[in-house]
Chain A
Amino acid sequence: MNEVSVLIGGKAGDGINSAGAMVAQLLNHMGYRIYLYFDYPSLIRGGHNFAIIRGAEQEIGTCRDRVDFVLALNQETLDRHRSRWNAETAVLFNADLVKGQGHGIPIREILTAENAPEIMGNSAIIGGFAKAAGIDWEMVTAVFTSHIPKGVEMNLKVARRAYDLLEPVHPVSRCDSLPVPLLTGNEAIGLGMIRGGLEAYVSYPMTPSSSLLHFLAEQKDRFGIQVVHPENEIAVVLMGLGFACAGKRAAVGTSGGGFCLMTEGVSFAGMAELPLVFLVSQRTGPSTGLPTYTGQSDLRLVLHAGQGEFPRLIVAPGNVQEAVYWSEVAMNLAWKFQVPAFILADKTFSEGTYSTGPDAFADVPSEELPRWDNGAPYRRYADSPSGISPLAFPGMKDAVVKVNSYFHDEAGITSEEGPVVSAMTEKRLRKWQGLRAEMDRYSPVNVSGTAGAPATILCWGSTKGVCTEVAGALGLRVVQPVVLAPSPQDQIRKALDGPGRIICVEENVTGQLAELAQQHGIAVDTKILKYDGRPFTREELEGKIREVLA
């Protein structure tokens, strides 16, 4: 099976992310399915940034430890990643800054010869890589032309000089597939929200959610949405709820720390029955933690955020297909049931880049919105067997819409009477039951791998990619709940039914999915946990699972 991995590294400010994206596009056009992992510390200039671009014939969602190419823009790239490369690896480096064995590219000399600005230095490295990988110049031209916003000619001249300096080192075979769109996890989530009718996105910058704010802000006119960046996350969630009050579909985005500020709004959404979709992209906590690294330690937080008891939907997509699909579903179900809905992601997924095949845009079940029939008087919290009240919004003729954070009667007027409190609590409980029953129309738990396998990997979110790959290599099964609330306990139990042992893989220190499973009577045999802020690699997880199975 054809496969290739490329590491590109330099200091922050060197444009490693965009250079990595160009390498990814070259491999995409060679017919590879792509996964790009971008690793950077929390600073603007200096520090060490690197990207690993992996291409394979099948869809992938993780990196390997070893790489076939190293593109070093600074010395640290070679020194720090010594374990990832050996004598077989094609090592290309900026000859002005790096001392090493391999293929030095005289970037300063090339830029001077072309009278090109320093920012185009990366094009020289990419041109060198293309030749070392045996990629046709025509393809380099096509990819540069499509993906460099300005100065294509000059960038191509710079790239060509490096291209002509080198000979093919490790020619990369062409695969049969046609190129497909490459999207980050956050972009896939954004497109799912847009398919779900998003009209406004409100967010305060916080890594690793910010790239969705940037993406939607840049694309707002294309999609006809409003994008608002308010004073803090408290304002974010309440503005989002304001949009919902006025009948507009809104979403908000943040990470754990910002989400802590939002929790009063989560509870308000529960009580006032306001639909709002939240992207919560996890980073390594607690507190400020590691802002630019990954983790899966906020499941418990999102499951329980907000005082009081009220229904919520939580989905944790494991790849771009699931992100597009479930983000759209989250929009639809938030509105149908008038509840908060959460898309739980992490840095690995949000900022990773993935090949997005045409099957990523599957149709979701259509959901009817309960609308007021203009039969006066309107009662915002009219009770019904489903607990769902018809919707009307301010501005509609003869509807007096009274939304309330206090306990309230059906008209939305504050009430502290015991029977009213009980009735409204039971109304919300019926929505909870309805949301759980709704899951029968969906597939809230994904099962893949070998039936009757000696072990099953239980995982959630971004680790789906690495778990699926390792399970494929070892002949195991994978059970991945995408929906985490309402807990699809019956579907998980059914999926895990059988004699094999259950290995739960999570990127946290306590095993939060394992705990959730335990609460529903599902015992996990072994937990494999990682909590250093870095995602599992293929070899790392495979080694740990082999130890468990030995």
Chain B
Amino acid sequence: MTPRTLITDAQNTWCPGCGNFTIQHTLKNILADREKEGKSLDDVVLVSGIGCHAKIADYLNINSVYTLHGRTIPVATGIKLANPNLTVICCCGDGDCYAEGLDHLVFAAKRNIDLTLIVHNNRVYGLTTGQYTPTSPLGFRGKSTPLGTAEYPFNPIELMLASGATYIARGYTRKMDPLKKLIAGGIAHHGFSFIDVLQICATFFPAADYYGPRVYDLAGHDTGDFEASCHVAREWDYNTDARIALGLLYRRQAPTFEEKMQPRPVAANERQEAITALLKSRT
């Protein structure tokens, strides 16, 4: 089998130095590995929202649905319910899935639907040219908040722990190898996998100097211990100065939504009989 060309001819329009390149190459490498293992890429679907991150749908040469702002998760949920054999990967932004589509995120975790969600969390709106997002630090000066925001960010890791996600990780675009392990682990995990990726926005939030000295790789952490995971999650609140843990924070196995929701197989002729039976019961 000739390996598939994984990058399309679409012109790439991300800024030089953008963290999206890292995520794209990471996914490309994961897909190439998958092909090398003899698994088809025909069964993979990438679902993106709207924002800089979402251009990845144009750039990766796999099945994709380039949806609406904030709406990756419901579309992906429909796809997975319709065909549980598909591997469904969601790429979404922080404005996208922490603001516009927050309700869907909480419910995806609550349902434990088998999706892998990669949040390109650059903590700023890029495509709309620089406004604060739910994870921007207090006082962030953006175009809609020139004097600084008046609200604290929320901590998406804590939110996911509270919502019932069964695979919760944090990566960083300047640490590509660990990021690859986290995303590949998320895809392999049977259930809802959430990976918050701290991503550099070269133009509107170039935070590499901030993250560099603060990030560290989690070691010796018991990913099955919910309380310990909460403790790690609260180390950094996306606002105050603190160490920032990278790696897998929490994992557990649980039945998935799509397994529980599969329909009883009914043949077409049986359907007509079912209608007849129903009508009889109403006579």
Q: Using a CB–CB distance below 8 Å, which chain A residues touch chain B? A: 28, 146, 179-183, 187, 191, 194-195, 199-200, 202, 219-226, 228, 230-232, 234-236, 238-248, 250, 264-265, 268, 272, 356, 361, 393-406, 408, 412-414
Contacts and interface: CB of A to CB of B under 8 A. Distances in A.
B75 A200 contact: no
A236 B42 CA distance: 26
Nearest to B103: A231
B71 interface: yes
B250 to A, nearest CB: 23
Contact of A394 (B71, B79, B274, B279): B79
Contacts of B263: 199-200, 220-221, 224-226
Contacts of A246: 45, 78-79, 82-83, 86
Given A182-B283, A235-B103, A405-B67, A230 B74 contact: yes
10 contacts: A224-B265, A230-B77, A236-B74, A238-B78, A239-B81, A242-B75, A242-B79, A356-B282, A394-B44, A405-B66
Contacts of B8: 413
Interface stretch (B53-61, B190-198, B206-214): B53-61
Contact of A238 (B44, B74, B271): B74
B280 A181 contact: yes
Contacts of B262: 226
A224 B273 CA distance: 12
B266 interface: yes
Interface of B: 8-10, 40, 42-45, 50, 55, 57-58, 61-68, 71, 73-83, 85-86, 103-104, 106-107, 261-266, 270-271, 274-275, 277-283
Contact of A242 (B9, B50, B66, B78): B78
Contacts of A402: 57-58, 63-64, 66
A238 B107 CA distance: 14
B104 A245 contact: no
Contacts of A225: 263
Contact of B282 (A182, A235, A239): A182
A244 B264 CA distance: 19
Nearest to B69: A264
B78 A395 contact: no
A247 B279 contact: no
Contact of B283 (A28, A361, A394): A28
A395 B282 CA distance: 40
Given A199-B263, A414-B55, A395 B85 contact: yes
Nearest to B70: A234
Contacts of B103: 231-232, 234-235
B50 to A, nearest CB: 7
B79 A245 contact: yes
Given A181-B280, A222-B277, A403-B65, A231 B81 contact: no
A230 B58 contact: no
Contacts, number: 184
A394 B280 contact: no
A412 B74 CA distance: 20
B62 A235 contact: no
Closest 10 CB pairs of A and B: A242-B78, A224-B266, A246-B82, A238-B74, A239-B78, A394-B63, A248-B82, A181-B282, A181-B279, A235-B74
A179 B107 CA distance: 46
Contacts of A413: 8-10, 58
B45 A191 contact: no
- Which of A268, A272, A414 has the most C-beta atoms of chain B within 10 angstroms of its own C-beta? A414
Contacts of B58: 402, 404, 413-414
Contacts of B279: 181, 183, 356
A248 B86 CA distance: 13
A187 to B, nearest CB: 8
Contacts of B106: 231
A403 B82 contact: no
Nearest to A183: B282
Given A238-B75, A248-B82, A223 B64 contact: no
Nearest to A180: B283
Contact of B77 (A242, A398, A408): A242
Given A181-B280, A221-B264, A194 B82 contact: no
Given A222-B274, A395-B43, A413-B10, A243 B79 contact: yes
Contacts of B104: 231, 234-235
A235 B63 contact: no
Given A222-B277, A242-B82, A395-B43, A400 B266 contact: no
Contacts of A268: 67-68, 71
B275 A191 contact: yes
B76 A242 contact: yes
A414 B152 CA distance: 35
A394 B45 CA distance: 7
B274 A223 contact: yes
A406 B79 CA distance: 20
Contacts of B45: 245-246, 394
Contacts of A400: 61-63
Given A200-B81, A412-B64, 17 more contacts: A182-B283, A195-B271, A219-B278, A223-B274, A235-B73, A242-B82, A243-B81, A246-B86, A356-B282, A393-B83, A394-B63, A395-B43, A402-B58, A404-B57, A405-B50, A405-B67, A414-B66
B274 A397 contact: no
A223 B277 CA distance: 11
Contacts of B55: 414
Contacts of A230: 74, 77, 107
A223 B74 contact: no
A235 B78 CA distance: 9
A399 B43 CA distance: 10
A194 B106 CA distance: 32
A399 B107 CA distance: 31
A231 B107 contact: yes
Given A230-B107, A239-B74, A223 B82 contact: no
A222 B278 contact: yes
A397 B42 contact: yes
A224 B42 contact: no
A434 B201 CA distance: 46
B70 to A, nearest CB: 8
A414 B63 contact: no
Nearest to A249: B82
A247 B82 contact: yes
Given A239-B78, A242-B78, A228 B261 contact: yes
